[in-house]
Structure 1
Amino acid sequence: MPEVNISGPSGRIEARYHHEGSPNSPVALILHPHPQFGGTMNNQVVYHLYYAFQKRGFSVLRFNFRGVGRSEGLFDNGPGELADAATALDWLQAITPMRRPCWIAGVSFGAWIAMQLLMRRPEVEGFISVAPPANLYDFTFLAPCPPSGLMVNGAKDRVVPTESVRGLVDRLKTQKGIVIDHQTVPDANHFFEERMEGLMEVVDGYLDKRLGKRKTRKDSAA
């Protein structure tokens, strides 16, 4: 999990990158929660998403938005963070120029940024949106949502109620040819504290359904 520094629109972007050796391996970009509420690339949900893609043979990148950790710049409440994410995806694709498919995953604020990015990048084939803040941010730009994906939230999330996520999913389901799965993790709050296993069961199940069941490094060693 080497540390990398990417030249971003506001200076250095601090990141962690896993490189998969296969020339045909897919790529995934993971975006962290709100920087002003403690969100970093070391958030536990971000870390588990990163590993979920890594063990399925993806080259994976997670990074700190501007002003977080050793990433330079100041919080920009959306536009700057979207520029950071676009730069990170450019870097990921430049270092793996022949690799497809491309996935994006985001957590809370990072899910909002991720969904904006995939609207601009037709190569994105799938997404995982964890606790998308449908009650706090405008998602009407998803018209239509280009790829199919998963939206998942906690049943006891007091920040993003299930009803707001369900309403967003119901609107997106009207788009032709796009399937948005929505699942709720029982007893989980916004941060999935003590419910990480339940969250990852949902995520792993979805990835297995979309990508096919793959033998992981852990499975191979058993």
Structure 2
Amino acid sequence: MHQLHEFNSRELLDNQLADKVANILETAVKLRGKASIAVSGGSTPKGFFSVLSKKSLPWKQITVTLADERWVDINDDASNTKLVHQNLLQNNALEANFFHIKQGDLLSSEVLADLNLAAGTTVLPFDVLILGMGEDGHTASLFPCSNEIHSALSKDAAPLLKVVPTTAPHERITFSYAYLAQSKNTFLHICGQGKKTVLDQALAGDEITEMPIRAFLQHPSLTTNVYWAE
């Protein structure tokens, strides 16, 4: 299921989402001594990242990671890791921990095995998950065009998977749907009328492999909070 939160401006959305996420992370640290948040790349979350980075939080007890990543050098402009370091891991958030899901040059089965083991003890389950959405209805790197889409959506999938999209560049690593869906708080952050149209299309159908974001929006017991601004 989903709950739609509409805002009159992107600035207002960024501030409201940052306030909400900060409260969740602070509460988690108070309860368990630690918290984790998985974020997505792209230009949309940059404003949110900036606002969140200035929050007075116990950042040393908070681990940030990515919902997915392109398997490129971290200095590449296509790197979500670079994006997060430049926009979120700044200001107060410089003290946060970062769990790298892109490690080394080759995305091998051995690397995946090591990452899956580390993810299980470091960040999973997420306290907060911030998703984005592509024009084709993909989220994280759950691409409808990929040969891996069925395994990525499987309830038996490993936490992290290799995905090779056919309609987008770069080999990817992504958290699987089974583990993304375990997040205690899930948000879909989208902006613009084009993304609102894609959202409406996703809500109008039920074939998950056609538009993987449907797995979050239409799950009977998982609430995805959609934050949208023009």
Normalised by the size of structure 1, how large is the TM-score?
Answer: 0.38
Normalising by structure 2, we get a TM-score of 0.37
Q: Which has the higher contact order (CA 8 A, sep 6+)?
A: 2
